[in-house]
Structure 1
Amino acid sequence: MWLDCMKGRAPKTIIIDQNRAIKNAIATVFPETRHRYCLWHIMCKLSVKLGSHAKFNYGLKTGIQFSLYDSQTTTEFEESWGQLLAKYDLQGNHWLQSSYKERSFWVPVFLTSVFWAGMNTMQRSKSMNAFFDGYVHAGTTLKEFVDQFDNALRKKVEVETTTYFKSSNQTILCVSRFNIEKQFQKVCTNAKFKEVQRELMGLMCCNCWLVSTQECILTFDVLDEISFDEQTKRVHYSVYYNEDECEVKCTCRLFEMRGIICRHALRGCQLKNINVLPDVYFLDRWRKDLKMHYTLIRSSYDDLWGRSDTRNYKLMIQRCLKLVAKISSNNDKVHVFLHYVDEFDKTCEGSTCDSTFQSTQANPTVVLDKGKKILSPNVVRGKRRPPNKRKVPPVEKMATKRKKQVILVETCWLLDI
């Protein structure tokens, strides 16, 4: 059903609980999808499966957490895991053995090469409870649920639109003179820019030095002081910088997993006097200068917030679909169409498109191919007496006033007022 609704496109990643039936189904239906187990559920099972161990609260639990969260490579994890089992005599524990066999589905170090948007638990599904707070309850009927579902989605769209408006019109001050921070300030949304600033403030706890140079690859060692529970520990990270491609990678894999460049990579860039990052480090999903395509699709919950760009988008899609159905069987027509599209795209990037648009607006008369003009229809006065103005009920006045306020707010947003 997912593939039917999404036109055959499978999800890139998926997080599930330890359910063998769902795991087998995903492997069959989504063979290219990378899925993982919810780490939170597995960690909750530690006290159930190993709580009876005499040293569970005296080193065993901390050792498991250390192996999971502090291992930067798969080799480090396997070595620390083996030492942990030998130290606490757990080689015969069935649950640990079965969990180790499926380590690629839940151990963080095996999942760092995949983009997870910062998620490692099923928190998004749990947040559905908060999503419906104030809209539905245990006694809600099916009909009421459908109406309230649209109201909840409408509220979510309003909040998202407000947040996007604030990101476009409110500027968060920089905390440093690092030019890369100005890049993120200009491009990223406010929420994501705050995450970048947290990494920038962490530069004060990082010491970096050059270790080796092999052709165009520079290797840095970064010593980071991490604070947790009023304690501090020092962790070594390796940063690799490719001078030819201006590419920087860190063993913490923060960018690969969350889409945010880490403090260790920023320290390496600072050491090499790199003040500008390539566009690859600015993901489209968190850019405030790009229009999200899904906002142009009309839905059942945005009737009050319908815009002209939404109507234009729908009109263009319909016209293009008709044209595609006509010319898709003819290669020559397809090449000609693509040529015109490319030319129009280049024109829109410059000032020609704007001047053409202004000239069209200045002369609104539309001329047909045969020289005929489309004129405005004449206003014909009715023969009967014009109707008297009826008395408007107070409820209708309030509804009309509310509708005008909504239109006024939307107009202000469109004009960036």
Structure 2
Amino acid sequence: MKNAIATVFPETRHRYCLWHIMRKLPEKLGSHAKFNYGLKTDLQSALYDSHTTTEFEESWGQLLAKYDLFGNNWLQSLYEERSFWVPIFLKSVFWAGMSTTQRSESMNAFFDGYVHAGTTLKEFVDQFDNALRKKVEVETTADFNCSNQTIPCVSPFNIERQFQKLYTNAKFKEVQREFMGLMCCNCWLVSTQGCILTFDVLDEISFDEQTKRVHYSVYYNEDECEVKCTCGLFEMRGIICRHALRVCQLKNINVLPNVYFLDRWRKDLKRHYTLIRSSYDDVRGRSDTRNYELMIQRCAKLAAKISSNTDKVHAFLHYVDEFDKTSIGSTCDSTFQSTQANPTVEKDKGKQILSPNVVRGKGRPPNKRRVPTVEKLATKRKKQMREEVTDLDCPLDK
């Protein structure tokens, strides 16, 4: 796979599954006399506690010397390819939170309940469509919840409200964990070089009912309002870490630049892949998918005709740019004008929508509804009482 990926996807960063590597520790090193008496812990510490490549190199060397593992071929092969699996060598690459082959495991969970070992090929095709349809329903429900449900903030920090407004509910919950971790972070200024400020952040990390204190360095650019932490959480997962947030809190920064809000997790953006026609479009029944396919076909035909003529290509692109600039504004203006001209009538998706005063309510009309017998007698009695009162007030008229 490594050789194939390097050939077919030369610009792609490939990494090994860290979970599978750590799973092999008992198999490869379990026979060592000190495996459960320091070796396993020191190896994990070298992997997860090294904040720089230099620290890892030193820790790895000390590990081999301490446990006399210089002749271990498995560890030697792993060290030679350390840039493919050691976390410190991968912190500068965006992985969207992936460190294992969770893609394959998620696909297994995706087909749970739909296919099994005895499923035939024809049944698999049908069940595949059913699984996709169910996935679309789940995504549609999640999109609806993101638009109509608001998760309350856990802090008075204005930056958290930024994420609350822009991010999906699932991703906002991950961001909130960093805001809740602010109470475990202590921060102080270490040095200043021009507009670059360096802070030390002491974080208390809890795991397995134990607490460990870890130092991180955060660099803050005052001119660009840019913050970077040695933990590499934002670079790897696209989520700003609690250490950077602590510095922002110390510097009274209430608004983060847009670079810290990734489009892939925003709930206010249209996902283009939803416009691609699929086998489950009959369930969705949307016209935007058909329109998108029609536009692609027409543009493809036009591209085949004019691609050989540079002037025509530039003229077409210029027209598209002008249309892109004016179409949204003209649509909004026309909608506004029609609404102002007739405030009781709106046009939405080709259907006439009347104001509440014009719309007929559900059920039997009020003038034709069935009146219970008790209500008839009560109404008749009230009418007789009003007539008797009128007779008493005006006796001469009678």
TM-score (norm 2): 0.82
1:110-129 alignment runs, 5 A limit: 110-129=89-108
1:25-40 equivalence runs, <5 A: 25-40=4-19
Question: Over residues 256-298 of structure 1, what are the superposed CA-to-partner deviations in whole Å (9 max), with x where a residue is unaligned?
Answer: 1111110001111111111111111111110000010000111
- Distance apart, 1:360 and its partner CA: 9.6
- Cα distance in 2, alignment partners of residues 359 and 237 from structure 1: 57
Percent same amino acid at aligned positions? 84
CA distance in 1 between counterparts of 2:111 and 2:78 reads: 35
Which residue type is aligned with residue 87 of structure 1?
Answer: K
Equivalent pair of 1:298/1:306 in contact (CA under 8 Å): no
Map residues 95-114 of structure 1 onto 2, 5 A cutoff.
Answer: 95-114=74-93
| Aligned 8 A contact 1:219 1:238 in 2 | yes
Instruction: Give 1:208's match in structure 2, choosing from 176, 180, 187.
Output: 187
Name the structure 1 match of 2:146. 167
Shift of 1:327: 2.7
Letter in 1 for 2:55: E
Question: How far, CA to CA, are the matches of 1:348 and 1:167 in structure 2?
Answer: 28
- Aligned residue for 2:282, secondary structure, equals coil
Find the aligned partners of 1:180 and 1:199 in 2 and give their Cα distance. 12
Q: CA deviation at 1:218?
A: 1.2
Offset at residue 344 of structure 1 (A): 2.3
Unmatched segments (≥5 aa) in structure 2: 341-398
Write the distance in 1 (CA, Å) between the matches of 2:305 and 2:256: 44
Structure 1 counterpart of 2:275, which letter? L
SS at match of 1:244: coil
CA–CA distance in 2 between the matches of 1:348 and 1:256? 37
- Residue in 1 that maps onto 2:64: 85
Alignment of 1:9-408 (within 5 A): 22-350=1-329, 352-356=330-334
Shift in Å at residue 77 of structure 1?
0.5
The range that moved more, 243-252 or 70-79, is 243-252
What amino acid is the match of 2:164? Q
Which stretch has the larger CA shift, 85-94 or 183-192?
85-94
Mapped partners of 1:183, 1:102: distance in 2:
40
Contact 1:210 1:219 in 2 (8 A): yes
How many angstroms apart in 2 are the aligned matches of 1:247 and 1:168?
30
Code of the residue aligned with 1:159 in structure 2: it is V
| Distance in structure 2 (CA, Å) of the matches to 1:186 and 1:241 | 25
- Deviating more after overlay: 100-109 vs 123-132: 123-132
Q: Distance in 2 between matches of 1:247 and 1:319?
A: 44
Deviation at 1:361, TM superposition (A): 11
Tell me the CA shift for residue 119 of structure 1.
0.8
After TM superposition, give the deviation of residue 302 of structure 1 in Å: 2.6
TM-score by length of 1: 0.79
Deviation readout 1:281-328 (Å, 9 max, x if unpaired): 111110000010000111012311121211221122222222222332
Aligned residues: 340
- Secondary structure of the residue aligned to 2:46 is helix
- Give the Cα separation in 1 of the matches to 2:223 and 2:327: 33
Q: 1:55 and 1:345 mapped to 2: Cα distance?
A: 68
Query: Partner letter of residue 38 of structure 2?
Result: G
Structure 1 SS opposite 2:269: coil
What do the CA deviations read for 1:229-278 (whole angstroms, capped 9, x no partner)? 11101000011112222221110000111111100011111111111111
C-alpha distance in 1, partners of 2:338/2:310? 33
Deviation at 1:106?
0.8
Deviations 1:68-119 (A, max 9, x none): 0111111110111111111111111111111111111110111111111111
Which residue identity does 2:321 align to in structure 1?
D
Contact 1:248 1:265 in 2 (8 A): yes
User: Equivalents in 1 of 2:29, 2:319: separation in Å?
Assistant: 67
Alpha-carbon spacing, 1:360–1:319, altered in 2? closer, same or farther (3 Å):
farther
Whole-Å separation in 2 of the counterparts to 1:326 and 1:271: 60
- How far did 1:178 drift? 0.7
Structure 1 residues 275 and 361, CA gap change in structure 2 (3 angstroms)? closer
Give the superposition deviation at 1:349. Answer: 4.5
RMSD, aligned α-carbons:
1.8
Please report how far the alpha carbon of residue 223 of structure 1 lies from its aligned counterpart in structure 2 after TM superposition: 0.4
Give the superposition deviation at 1:357: 6.0
